[in-house]
Amino acid sequence: MSALIETVGVRKAYGAFVALDGVTLSVADGETVAIVGPNGAGKTTLVNVLTGLLKPTDGVVRFKGEDIAGIGPVLLAQRGMARAFQLVHIFPGLTVAETIAVAVVSQTSRSLSFFGSLRRDAALWSKVRDVAAIFGLDAKLDAQARLLSQGEKKLLDIASAFALVPEVILLDEPTSGVSSGDKHGIMKTLVDAAKRAGVKAILLVEHDMDLVAEYSTRIVALQGGKVLADRAPDAFFADPELIASVIGKRRPAPAR
């Protein structure tokens, strides 16, 4: 099975400090790969390398067989990989519909001469309504983003990433700041949305081991900038020493 995303011997150094040290991994069609590890393990740096924000000091980063090192998230989104951030990146003064429309239009050659002529574009707003419906936001299309609940803001941020029509989506702590009772609901919405949208693979950076166990097909654990383990969930959670290394303490494996 050919890799959609692949890193080979990726190293990222900041002077004497090495944030990533020889990271090799791949993500194939149909996989949901969780990236886990303690604070300082290199997760954020790896995500920034994978999404073109950072160019590795050494090594290769490929998406669909093409070198994407340092190309940036805009060009990468045009090639088919989108990222939803840990912090909600929305425009608080825009409505839900306008926020999603920005993402839809960014994938075309049209300018954002903002919502004048765009308001008369039936196809655009049909797409906006479709995306909003997938995430349960269709009843709030006219609501300003700043008035949404934290959970709804997260969904809007991720809906904007889905509006880019990605083949691969990277979710960076998608449930951070959301109440424990809402986390599984948001993750189920995301996974269902990915299937409906034809997303081929998901990269999930997540610290909640219950969510990792429930939704990942493979787990890549980082420690000290290196790959500590790359295993299927059953094998990962069967190793108490590994779990202790990743989360900093021993705990029973979450129910699956």
Residue 29's pLDDT is 94
pTM recorded for the entire structure: 0.83
Largest separation between any pair of C-alpha atoms in the chain: 59
pLDDT computed for residue 222 by the predictor? 95
Vertex 236 angle, CA 230 and 242, to 5°? 90
pLDDT digit string (tens) for the chain, length 256 residues:
578 999 999 999 999 999 999 999 999 999 999 999 998 899 989 999 998 889 999 999 999 999 999 898 888 888 999 887 644 556 778 899 988 888 887 766 555 555 555 566 778 888 889 889 988 899 999 999 889 888 888 888 888 888 888 899 988 888 877 777 788 888 888 888 888 888 999 999 988 899 999 999 999 999 999 999 999 999 999 999 998 888 765 445 555 5
Q: Domains in the chain and their CATH numbers?
A: 3-247 (3.40.50.300)
pLDDT score at 174: 82
